[in-house]
Every structure is written in structure tokens, then in C-alpha cells.
Structure 1
Amino acid sequence: MRHIYLILLIIYPYDVLFGQADTIQVSKDYKTILVLPEPFSFSINGKDLNFIESFPKSTSEKATHIVMLTYNDVAPVKQDYTNYTVYTKDGLAYDFILDLIDIPKIKRWNINIEMADNVSKEHLAINNSENTDKEIIKIEDVALPNQIETSANDGIENIKITPLSTSLYDEDRIAYLKQKCENHIGDKGNIARYFSKIGDVFVWLKGVYYDREELYFLFNIENKEPIDLDINFLKSFIGTNYKQSSSNQKSEFEPIYRYAQPSRVEGNTSTTFFMVFEKFTLDKNKHLVIELDELNGNRNIGLDIEHLLINRPKKFGK
């Protein structure tokens, strides 16, 4: 009998392992959007470095119902899938299969409570009784990152990027930098899998860009632990890395502007921010060091950024 079971698993791995979970198509060039019936709590992603989860940059309560999925655009694979489970604040769990595809047939999923794996009759009764008074979440009501591009039929208008002029740069440089960061805070980035971590807290370098006389570093802090991360400081240094040398040292190197830098990253969430520097280059024996220090804690992280990443930045798309 053991041989029979093995054969069944080989022939039908997808159904046996994942059952009848809905398959959500995800791509590199589009955002697949999930609209949940209750606020997002946390998720379990079988391949979270490949299938990337993000959230609207909005303080609206409606934004807490939305999860956006895309595939790592620098990953070389053309076929991939994994399991994905979303938990909402009411304790319900929604099981899906994420499947890599060129163009998703459905770009927006309106998830309903009946799709929950652990829904009870009591949940359904409460949900039905509240439906008459419950405000329907519309995707148009939520401010989404500017890189989302969908057709008019998807119900999402393209996000407009505020045009920037030379005169603004000359008149108020900081205002220009702020608007530039605001225009691109939702970018997917141009660097894959470059991070440092302690436990389940990560500091990711997502992209290095240039514009005019500045370098823009796009970072993401991801806290996969349940305890909030309170940040004492985020500092930057130029460090030396001569091999087998006891004279390696670092000197503080302050950015000229910081955009959306957090003071706290709540448990099971992530946040994205920019550090902007006067343009610079480094030789092979130097690197940029980003140090995160936790307030009243020991989750301190140092991220070394190699000179090649700094010396070969990408120009912003717009």
C-alpha cells in the first residue's frame, strides 16, 4: 500500500498537497490585488522572496483590507507556485495557491467570508446580519502605490505622478526631493535579495537610483516577529573593508534628506523609506553601512552596501 500512496503523490501532487484552494495568478509586471472582508492581520507565504507582498501607502482604514501581490521581477524562473494563507483580524484564514503567470486573468480579487477555510455558521450568521450596514470597500477609495498599471476595466485608475520642474529644484531643493521620493516610494526596486537580518527582522536594500545631483536609496524594514520594533536610530557610515587589517574604520555619512523613515515597525508588518545623499562613488575598499539600533532591545542590524551597487545606480523611470 505504501507504494500506491507514493504513486498517487507523484501523479497528483498539486491536488493532494493543496486541496481545492483558489489559485491566484501573480506576475512580474502587474499587481494582483486582494480585497479582504476584514482588516489584514498576517500571512504565511511559502516563497516570500519570490512572491512579494505589499500594502497601500495609506492611513485609511479601508487600506487595511487590501493586499497586493507581485513576483520578483529579477528572478530568472518562468514557472513557479506556492501556498499562501491570509489571516484577518477576526481570526479567519483564507488559503490560496499563488501561481506565476505573464498576465493575470483576474487582477483584483474581492474575497468574501465564505471563502475562509475555518469559517463557522456563527461567523456567517454575524456576517449576514451586518451586511446591510456594512460599507463596501471599493478599490478606488484607497491610495495605491504609483507603479500599479491596470486597464480601465479593472476599476483602478492609473496613479498620477506629480511632474517635477527644474525651477522647483532651484527654488526649494528639499521640496523637490520630497516630491521625488513621494513619486517613487511604491517602486518595486531594482535590486533583488540584498538584505541583513537578525531573527525575523530584515533590512532590505530595494534600489539605488540617481537624479540630478543626488543618490536615492530605497530601503524596506520587514518585521516578521509579533513584537513591535521601536527604532532608536538609523545611521549611515562610510566604512573601510581592507582584508586582514586591524585599521578598518567607519565615519558617519549623513543623508541630506530622509523620506518616510519610521520610528516603529509594528509586528508582522513592513515599511519602505528613502535615504537621499549627495551623489558620491566609492572604491573597492569602501562601502556604505546602514545601522539600525533598536530602542530598549537587542535587535540591532548592520547592512553593508557594496561599492558596485553605489557606483552603478539606475536612473528613475520618471
Structure 2
Amino acid sequence: MKKYILTKAALLVFIITSAQTQEKLDTIYANDHKNVALFFPKAINQGITGAAHFIFTYNREKHQHFGLLQAKPGKESNLLVIGADGSVFSYILKYKEQLTRLNYFIPKAESIGKEKPVAMVSIKTSNSQKYLSDKEDYYRRFCSYLLSEKHRIGRIKKRKYRIILSVENIVFNKEELYFVIKIENRSGLDYDLNFLKLASETRKKGKKKSLQRLYQDPVFKYKMPTKIGKNKAVKIVYVLPKFSLSKERRAILELNEKDGERNLKLKVSHRFINNPN
């Protein structure tokens, strides 16, 4: 009889544990005075929140399985996490003053799908074209996704000649930085684009300080226009190899008009380059 009771108790524990494991998680609660830890089955490759009052932090340099979530009071939002194996997880985020749960161990079964991986084809003459095609296809899809997002990294904007140049977002993904750039033409004339270049330069200190500028070549450009009509706006994505800047340097975005003089230079602090989304 004693053996039967133990077996029955163990079975009951198994049933309860299984029910908890199978419970579908769709909403995660957080606040601004406690860290909520999310543990994923694979290392986190990217995590993006839909609003600035929700902050999800994770190790971007050394991929790890967990991230920390905090929130400030505000409307509900969402979290999108992509694992190292391409698994995609999506949750609703809500602010809650009193939390009853601080740790979430997320099973692989909660993945809503899989990001199409870049085919790691050996770079040989016969396969190089396929590799480049797959790589560009990945860039194109991820750039399209970024343009659909409303997440902002900060106020980075330059106005001149009724032309507005701004950097809306900087995202780190797969060893590359994605710059989401917006150009608005609020003038009465079309703007013919000559070039849009990104460089890093030494911050000028004193009259005798020489200015050193190093241009960064994008590996991919998405939705690059040749003309911006009057009272029109365009969004572009530049993909560049990952880089960082010291406190003595900053990034410069140069917009140049073809056969015109409406040229703009936008300064981007090293803080935004070193702390992308």
C-alpha cells in the first residue's frame, strides 16, 4: 500500500508539471523596480520591443540564452525575439506594479515560426553566386522588417533648406549595423540625390586640431532613391559591418544634392553607434 501511494503521488506531480509546461505563455508582465528574466532554448540573436518604455537587454557580443526585461508605466506593447537557430518568439508586454513571476523558462514549442536562415554555402567559384544571392535576400527581408517597425533609437535630426535628414533607428544583427535613414523634402523643388555617405571622424577640439574622416562603405542599400519629390519623404536602410567609436570620434551622415547646393551633414554621437537596438 505504501508503495502504491508513492507511485500515485509521483504521477500527480508529473501531471501537474506537464500541465504547467504545456500552458501557453502570451503575456509577460514587468515593472521599473525589478528585473524579469527570460530564458530561451537557444541563444538570443536579436530582441526588439515595440515601445521605448519596455527595455529588453541581452548580451550582443557573447550570445547567451537569457535576457532581462524592465518596463515603465504605459500602454501595452510587444516583444519579438529571434534565437540563434532562427526560432521566432513573440509576446505581449504589459506594465504591472506588483509582479508574481520574475523568471520565465520558455520552451522551444512556444516558437511561432522560424526565420529563414542564410545558407552557409562554401565560397567557391561554383557556389559563390548562390551565397551572395542568399545573403542579399536576407538583407532585403530584414530591412523590410525594420521599415515596418516604429521603434526609435533617439532624436537624431538635421534641418536645412527645408530638407530634413534623420536617423530613426540603428539595429545590430548578425555582426552588422542597420541604419534606418529618413529624408524629407518639404521644399517646392524636387531633390536629386547625388550621394548619401556615412563616415566616422575625430571630434574637433581647438583651432589646431586636425580633422580625420574615415568613410564606411555599406555592404547593402535598401530602397535607395535617385530623386525625392517635393513634399515627399523616403526611408532608406544602410547595412554596414559592425563598428564602434571612442568618445573622441563620431559618425557623420552626408547628404549631397546632384547639380545643387542643398547639402546636409548630420552628426551622430558615438553613444548611438555603441548602443544600437
Shorter-chain TM-score bucket reads 0.5 to 0.7
The verdict on how the C-alpha distance between 1:282 and 1:169 changes in structure 2, with shifts beyond 3 A counting, is: farther
2:126 matched to 1:164?
A: no
Among 262, 265, 268, the alignment partner of 1:305 is: 268
How far off its partner does 1:233 sit? 0.9
Residue type matched to 1:233 in 2?
A: F
Which residue matches 2:174? 212
Distance apart, 1:236 and its partner CA: 1.5
Matched positions, count:
162
**1:282, 1:102 → 2: CA distance?**
35
Aligned to 1:240: 202
Q: Quick one: which of 253, 259, 270 aligns to 1:296?
A: 259
**Unaligned 5+ residue runs, structure 1?**
1-72, 76-100, 104-161
In structure 2, the CA distance between the partners of 1:198 and 1:278, relative to structure 1 (3 Å rule), is: same
Q: Is the 8 A contact 2:158 2:166 kept in 1?
A: yes
Query: Per-residue deviation at 1:238?
Result: 1.4
Q: Is the 8 A contact 1:189 1:218 kept in 2?
A: no
1:223/1:265 contact within 8 Å kept:
yes
Following TM superposition, by how much is the alpha carbon of 1:247 offset from its aligned partner in structure 2, in angstroms?
Answer: 0.9
Q: Secondary structure at the match of 2:272?
A: helix
- Of the candidates 215, 220, 231, which is equivalent to residue 257 of structure 1? 220
Q: Does 2:164 correspond to 1:202?
A: yes
Task: Indicate the SS of the match to 2:244.
Answer: coil
CA contact (8 A) 1:168 1:175 kept: no
User: Which residue, out of 168, 173, 196, partners 2:135?
Assistant: 173
Q: Is the 8 A contact 1:168 1:176 kept in 2?
A: no
Bigger Cα Rg: 2
Once the two structures are superposed, what CA deviation does each residue of 1:77-135 show, in whole Å capped at 9, x if it has no partner?
xxxxxxxxxxxxxxxxxxxxxxxx969xxxxxxxxxxxxxxxxxxxxxxxxxxxxxxxx
Judge conservation of contact 1:169–1:176 (CA < 8 Å) in 2: no
CA distance, structure 1, for counterparts of residue 191 and residue 204 of structure 2: 33
Contact persistence 1:164–1:176 (CA under 8 A): no
Rounded Cα–Cα distance in structure 1 between residues aligned with 2:209 and 2:116: 48
Look up the match of 1:188.
150
Is the partner of 2:148 in helix, strand or coil?
A: coil
Q: Which of the pair is proportionally richer in strand?
A: 2
Q: Scaled by the length of structure 1, what TM-score is found?
A: 0.47
CA RMSD of aligned residues (A): 2.7
The 3 A distance-change label for structure 1 pair 221 and 239 is same
Equivalent positions of 1:1-318 (< 5 A) are: 164-168=115-119, 171=131, 172-244=134-206, 245-314=208-277
Distance 2:231 2:205 in 1: 38
What is the TM-score of this pair, normalised by structure 2?
Answer: 0.53
Distance change >3 Å, CA 226–CA 265, structure 1 → 2: same
Structure 1 distance, partners of 2:118, 2:193, is: 36
Q: Quick one: distance in 2 between partners of 1:242 and 1:269?
A: 34
1:20 matched to which residue of 2? none
Which whole-Å CA distance do the structure 2 matches of 1:232 and 1:271 have between them? 15
The residue type paired with residue 224 of structure 2 is Q
Q: CA–CA distance in 1 between the matches of 2:237 and 2:212?
A: 25
- State the Cα distance separating 1:246 from its structure 2 match: 2.7
Q: What are the ranges of 5 or more consecutive residues in structure 2 without an aligned counterpart? A: 1-50, 54-73, 77-112, 122-130
Whether contact under 8 Å (1:239, 1:289) holds in the other structure is yes
TM-superposed CA distance for 1:286, in Å, is 1.0
In 2, Cα distance between equivalents of 1:174 and 1:222: 27
Moved over 6 A (4+): none
Distance of 1:268 and 1:296 partners within structure 2? 19
Distance 2:228 2:114 in 1: 31
Partner SS, residue 185 of structure 1: helix
Q: Quote how far apart the aligned CAs of 1:250 are.
A: 0.6
Cα distance change, pair 246–181 in 1 and its aligned pair in 2 (3 A):
same
Distance 2:190 2:184 in 1: 11
Q: Distance in 2 between matches of 1:204 and 1:310?
A: 14
